């Protein structure tokens, strides 16, 4: 249910700290959809694990229940700057409420 693009996989793997995992956390659900962030964390019993492009993304089970097909990309443009874009199939961006498609 999570697709990690080549660009995002490269950045995530190059910044992964030994002993830590990549966690996607649901931070809010509003009219624009579900809003997620990525963080480094410790593994937890019961984590739901998604694997894509050589990257493991972990979520707690209650957050994972709300997840639909999701694409994690990384952008580095003059217009948007640098950061991850977490996008669902119906969304045009991360749903963070900003007027751009870019999240740091």
DSSP 3-state assignment of 16?
coil
CA–CA distances in Å: residue 67 to residues 11, 14, 21, 33, 57: 23, 26, 19, 10, 12
For residues 66 and 13, the model is more confident at 13
Does the pLDDT value for residue 103 go beyond 60?
no
DSSP 3-state assignment of 64?
helix
Does the pLDDT value for residue 101 go beyond 90?
no
The Cα 47–Cα 33 span in angstroms is 22
pLDDT tens, residue by residue, 23-77: 999 998 888 778 899 999 999 999 999 999 999 999 999 989 888 889 999 999 8
**Arch. (CATH architecture) of 2-87:** Sandwich (2.60)
pLDDT at 44: 95
Does the pLDDT value for residue 100 go beyond 60?
no
Q: And the tokens for 5?
A: 């693009």
pTM exceeds cut of 0.85: no
- What are the sequence ranges of the domains in the chain? 2-87
């Amino acid at each position: 249910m999570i697709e990690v693009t080549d660009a995002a996989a490269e950045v995530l793997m190059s910044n992964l700290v030994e002993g830590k995992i990549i966690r996607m956390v649901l931070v809010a659900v509003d009219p624009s959809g579900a809003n997620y962030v990525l963080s480094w964390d410790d593994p937890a019993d019961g984590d739901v694990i998604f694997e894509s492009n050589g990257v493991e993304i972990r979520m707690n089970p209650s957050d994972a229940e709300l997840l639909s097909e999701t694409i994690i990309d990384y952008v580095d443009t003059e217009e948007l700057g640098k950061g991850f874009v977490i996008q669902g199939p119906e969304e045009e961006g991360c749903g963070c409420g900003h007027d751009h498609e870019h999240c740091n």
